[in-house]
């Protein structure tokens, strides 16, 4: 019942925000701007999306080793591609991360190690995105003249930085009660792993570079879809506007970010003095590219050994996957 309620709320939020965003665009005009030469840019965006997934796989592999859930590159790539299918195409509370967790646990790593690898991977990605936004703030301030836009940018970014910094600080603390109390036990364990990964000489630089590249490639994907409709946008403008939008889209309040992404992109473009409808157009095409990649992930899932072994039974991630370790 709880899953149905959460899914319903997410669908309603996505639908409401999409309705408000689509009022700013002319879909017939958008369709008319997609020509034969546009398909080349869309194909490039799809290729870059797969490259982005692969770089995410390389980062996840480094993290999963520290979590006790080592993965082969080909195996991790398959799990990540399958995860995109559940992220992009199904209106359910079982997202791509839950499916990846299930796949890793079923591969023999165990529920705890699988859960830690997914959680730490997400946390490091969030921290890298916040750092990237902070690094580009001097240029973003030149682009965004609206006081409300600047305030929103600062609030969102420093909230993410504070969360990420607090998470890493938690891992540096050695207070006994952090390891004993059920409310902090697993979060502390994940924070310790994140610190080991980020501040190690062998894995730290590699994970940091991969994390930043993953987010830079998101900007490249948006630039490709903008080129497909000849949107009057510079790469530098997209680089400054897209990362904050991606940060907002990470909030788990909609279906695959639909609605939240379009509304945020329209607002960001408006604050920067650009056409808000172009922001929504670009966001819709970005979502379409993600949907196509997710559909490919669905094909991989249908043909996978895990799907054949599971049959028609629902994927169930047990609550005891986060039970305290004795």
Q: Domain ranges in the chain?
A: 35-321
If phi over 0 gives left and psi between -120 and 50 gives alpha, with beta otherwise, what is residue 234?
beta
pLDDT digits (tens, 9 = 90+) for 179-211: 888 778 899 999 999 999 999 998 999 999 999
Q: Which runs of consecutive H residues, i.e. helices, occur in the chain?
A: 2-22, 27-32, 36-67, 73-88, 96-104, 111-135, 137-143, 147-172, 176-180, 185-198, 204-228, 235-249, 260-271, 276-303, 305-310
pLDDT digits (tens, 9 = 90+) for 33-70: 888 888 999 999 999 999 999 999 999 999 999 998 89
If phi over 0 gives left and psi between -120 and 50 gives alpha, with beta otherwise, what is residue 259?
left
**Contact, 294 vs 89, CB < 8 A?**
yes
- pLDDT tens by residue, the chain, 326 residues: 666 677 777 778 888 888 778 887 888 888 888 888 889 999 999 999 999 999 999 999 999 999 988 999 999 999 999 999 988 765 554 578 888 998 998 888 888 999 999 999 999 999 999 999 988 888 888 888 888 888 888 888 888 889 999 999 999 988 888 888 877 889 999 999 999 999 999 899 999 999 999 999 999 999 999 999 998 889 999 999 999 999 888 877 778 788 889 998 998 888 888 888 999 999 999 999 999 999 999 999 988 877 777 666 666 666 545 443 33
């Amino acid at each position: 019942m709880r899953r149905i309620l959460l899914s319903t709320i997410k669908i309603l939020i996505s639908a409401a925000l999409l309705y408000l965003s689509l009022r700013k665009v002319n879909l017939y005009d958008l369709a008319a701007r997609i020509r034969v030469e546009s398909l080349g840019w869309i194909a490039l965006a799809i290729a870059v999306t797969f490259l982005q997934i692969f770089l995410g796989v390389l980062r996840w592999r480094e993290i999963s080793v520290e979590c006790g859930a080592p993965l082969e590159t080909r195996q991790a790539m398959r799990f990540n591609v399958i995860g995109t299918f559940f992220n992009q195409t199904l209106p359910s509370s079982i997202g791509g991360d839950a499916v990846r967790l299930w796949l890793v646990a079923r591969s023999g790593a165990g529920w705890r190690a699988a859960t830690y690898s997914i959680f730490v991977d997400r946390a490091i990605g969030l921290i890298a995105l916040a750092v990237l936004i902070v690094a580009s703030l001097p240029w973003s301030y030149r682009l965004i003249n609206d006081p409300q836009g600047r305030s929103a940018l600062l609030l969102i970014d420093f909230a993410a930085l504070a969360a990420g910094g607090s998470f890493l600080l938690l891992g540096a603390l050695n207070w006994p009660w952090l390891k004993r109390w059920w409310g902090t036990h697993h979060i502390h364990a994940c924070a310790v792993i994140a610190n080991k990964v980020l501040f190690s000489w062998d894995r730290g630089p590699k994970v940091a570079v991969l994390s930043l590249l993953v987010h830079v490639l998101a900007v490249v994907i948006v630039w490709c879809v903008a080129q497909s409709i000849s949107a009057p946008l510079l790469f530098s403008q997209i680089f400054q506007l897209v990362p904050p939008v991606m940060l907002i889209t990470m909030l788990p309040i909609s279906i695959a970010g639909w609605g939240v992404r379009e509304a945020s992109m329209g607002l960001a473009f408006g604050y920067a003095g650009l056409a808000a409808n172009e922001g929504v157009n670009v966001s819709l095409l970005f979502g379409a590219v993600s949907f196509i990649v997710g559909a490919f992930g669905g094909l991989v899932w249908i043909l996978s050994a895990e799907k054949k072994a599971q049959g028609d039974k629902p994927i169930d991630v047990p609550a005891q996957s986060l039970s305290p370790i004795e």
